[in-house]
């Protein structure tokens, strides 16, 4: 189907054979969305794998030029690109460790 993409993310190493540890994502091209944005943009949604209901539609990328998914859609493992807050927290931890090591001298 054109203008629609779907993928399921399973946590690497998961031994759970049910949908309990899985997350579904869908991208849909919306001719009527987003409000106050470029009409016809793709929005990414969370998918309830038990019911198929989609929620929390959001643009991906800059608001004035959101990304498109014409070439397809796939979810990469979460540890491929760290979340920005985890990078900041790691940096803060390293800075604190360096300060403590310097202070002991």
pLDDT tens column, 20-38: 778 888 888 888 877 777 7
Total tally of structural domains belonging to the chain:
2
From the centroid of its chain, how far is CA 56? 12
Residues 70 and 35 in one domain: yes
DSSP character for 87?
Answer: H
Average pLDDT over residues 68-82: 68
Average pLDDT over residues 62-72: 79
Is the pLDDT assigned to residue 46 strictly greater than 50?
yes
Residues 9 and 38 in one domain: yes
Residue 81, pLDDT score: 47
Average pLDDT over residues 51-70: 84
Residues 11 and 53 in one domain: yes
Report the share of the chain in percent with pLDDT over 70: 84
Residues 43 and 57 in one domain: yes
Residues 68 and 94 in one domain: no
Q: What is the DSSP string of 8-50?
A: EEE-TT----SGGGEEEEEEEE-TT-STTS-TT-EEEEEE-TT
pLDDT band at 83 (very low <50, low <70, confident <90, very high): low
Q: Which domain holds residue 63?
A: 4-74
């Amino acid at each position: 189907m054109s203008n629609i993409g779907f993928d399921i993310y399973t946590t690497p190493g998961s031994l759970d054979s049910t949908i309990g540890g899985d997350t579904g994502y869908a991208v849909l091209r919306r001719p009527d969305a987003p409000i106050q944005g470029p009409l016809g943009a793709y929005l990414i949604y969370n998918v309830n794998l038990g019911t198929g209901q989609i929620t929390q539609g959001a643009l991906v990328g800059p608001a004035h030029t959101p990304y498109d998914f014409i070439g397809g859609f796939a979810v990469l493992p979460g540890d491929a690109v760290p979340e920005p807050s985890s990078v900041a927290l790691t940096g803060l931890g390293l800075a604190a460790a360096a300060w403590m090591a310097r202070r002991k001298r």
